[in-house]
Chains A and B, each alone.
Chain A
């Protein structure tokens, strides 16, 4: 949650047309966009606007959550005079100090498109005062950026605390608002953001997307922005890899025949894993164990003639079983709830009539009994 005061440069220098359509219009677009972005980030964010040039710096809108007021104020700006940065920044600080909601953090955004008249030392002094009062300052330099460069860098260095302030320089011939859109100035505080555009305006540093030994780069997501999505993608990616490795292991084993199944499986898995690792996919030791287990389970299944999935195979013992459950069923009388085993036995004698079913069961039981009696005799 923050309160922002945007300092607009309305000096005569902003009539320059090096940023389409003019410096002033480009700046007005950027301010409107920025005010929209700030109020979108948090419903209690407020944005104010003040001018830096003219007779004296003037607050046009005190920080308000009402975007309309900001847009309206930008419409009525007049271009005149020279920028008085030192005074403007201190007025902005006062406007922020008397914000209504004390929970809001304070931020000043300075748009500067004309030469700065103050010397470096006085700017640094003001910057230190701002830092002391917990005010963050974002600076957009867009025109006269070479003359102002040194002063603004010194100012930024003095005010920056815990990386809460940013300096962005936008070169001429570009669309100001477009260039700003990807910068930390437009992002919510603490979001981190993608490219750090400070200094060059677009010189995005190559970011490493490797987290916990897993490379998110290939997935096209930033794990810091959306950890849940990243985790979900990672899990499904790893499952797919495990499945492929297991399939490869099974294929290799089938080709190699029954002998040395486990060794073959392991070799197949290693072969499958090798290219994967070449692509930068690190599989943990844990995963390797899991893969080995899976490969072994697959090889066991191939041994069984009935190629049923593992749980089913565990539930139904062998084809030789039916006679025994049938005997049990007879002993319990005409059991209304048929057990799965009984079902298997009676699959070929599926009858609707309960009496017929009972008769069939009894006949089955009789067929079963003689050998049992013989057993007892022995």
Chain B
């Protein structure tokens, strides 16, 4: 199945971001519309680390990730770790444990290029956790303008798409 933007599959009520600034929340980077606006961004609060839990409505197969941050090159994320189905993971654990996949982001990656994920390790993802460990210039806070997850929703079934065929004929 072709990889598509999984924005619609995200369970928004349970999206959680730790260490975000109250006026620069994760919604600014993740939500459709907001994330296209470079003026709206996610910023970390007390230090440079961020921990973003992205739960999905159904188990998804992930293939790509986009992290865009061009506003301030020094405040762009550098080292990020991805975890799969670890909804309770905290900062301490995330820093110590090895991620399912880890990236050292380059400048071109941060311009919105899609990062390829290891397909075999992201087959049944209920919760994706993105841990931003450090930023490019060791600044006090980290800024992310856009986050997007690509993949397929698997065998999900959308009840809203059910149509009454008997009424359609008449």
Task: Please list the residues of chain A having a beta carbon within 8 angstroms of any beta carbon in chain B.
Answer: 97-98, 102-103, 128, 131-134, 161-162
Q: Report, as a range, how many residues of chain B touch the other chain.
A: 10 to 19
Interface: B13 (CB within 8 A): yes
Q: Are B14 and A128 in contact (CB under 8 A)?
A: no
Cβ-defined contact, A132 with B88, below 8 A: no
Partner of A133, one of B13, B53, B91: B91
Contacts of B14 in A (CB 8 A): 102-103
- Name the prevailing secondary structure of the A interface residues: loop
Query: What are 8 contact pairs spanning A and B, CB under 8 A?
Result: A97-B88, A98-B88, A102-B14, A102-B87, A103-B13, A128-B46, A133-B18, A134-B16
Contact of B90 with A by CB under 8 A: yes
| Interfacial residues of chain B within 42-91, with CB under 8 A of chain A in the complex | 45-47, 49, 53, 87-88, 90-91
Q: How distant is the Cα of A134 from the Cα of B22 in the complex, in angstroms?
A: 10
Complex Cα–Cα for A97 and B90 (A): 8
Q: Point out the residue from B13, B18, B22, B53 that lies within 8 Å of A132, measured CB to CB.
A: B18
A128: B residues at CB distance < 8 A: 46-47
Among B14, B18, B46, residue most surrounded by chain A Cβ atoms (within 10 Å):
B46
For A97, what are the chain B residues with a Cβ–Cβ distance below 8 Å?
88, 90
Residues A132 and B91 in contact, CB atoms below 8 Å apart = yes
**How many A-B contacts at CB < 8 Å in the complex?**
32
Measured in the bound complex, the distance between the Cα atoms of B88 and A93 in whole Å is 12
Residues of A within 8 A of B88 (CB): 97-98
Closest partner residue, chain A, to B53 (CB atom)? A102
Interface of B with A (CB < 8 Å)?
Answer: 13-14, 16, 18-19, 22-23, 45-47, 49, 53, 87-88, 90-91
Cβ contact within 8 Å between B49 and A132: yes
Q: Please give, as numbers and ranges, the residues of chain A lying within 8 Å of B49 by CB-CB distance.
A: 132
* Interchain CA distance A241-B20 in the complex, whole Å: 50
The reply to whether A132 and B46 contact each other, CB–CB distance below 8 Å, is yes
CB closest residue in chain A, given B44: A132
Q: Which residues of B contact A103 (CB under 8 A)?
A: 13-14
List the B side residues contacting A134 at CB < 8 Å: 16, 18-19
Q: Are B13 and A161 in contact (CB under 8 A)?
A: no
- A128 — nearest CB in chain B belongs to which residue? B46
Q: Is there an interface contact between B19 and A132, defined as CB atoms closer than 8 Å?
A: yes
- Complex partner residue of B45 from A98, A102, A131, CB under 8 angstroms: A131
Q: Which residue of B lies closest to A99 (CB)?
A: B88
Q: How far is the CA of A141 from the CA of B91 in the complex (A)?
A: 30
A103 to chain B, nearest CB (A): 6
Nearest Cβ on chain B to A137's Cβ, whole angstroms: 14
CB-CB under 8 A from B47, the residues of chain A are: 128, 132
Residue of A nearest to B91 (CB): A132
List chain A residues, Cβ under 8 A from B90.
Answer: 97, 133
Q: Is the CB of A162 within 8 A of B19?
A: no
Docked-complex contact A132 and B45, CB < 8 angstroms: yes
Q: Which B residues are CB-close (under 8 A) to A133?
A: 18-19, 90-91
Q: Bound state CA distance, A128 and B53, in angstroms?
A: 20
Shortest C-beta distance, A158 to chain B (Å), equals 9
Pick the contact of A161: B16, B45, B87, B91 (CB < 8 A).
Answer: B45
Which residue of chain A has the shortest Cβ distance to B55 in the bound complex?
A102
Q: How far is the CB of B54 from chain A (nearest CB, A)?
A: 12
List the A residue with the shortest CB-CB distance to B17.
A134
- Residues of chain A with a CB closer than 8 A to B45's CB: 131-132, 161
Residue of A nearest to B92 (CB): A129
CB distance from B23 to the nearest CB of A (A): 8
C-alpha spacing A98/B90, complex, angstroms: 10
Query: Bound complex: CA of A134 vs CA of B15, how far in Å?
Result: 13
- Complex CA–CA separation, A133 to B18 (angstroms): 5
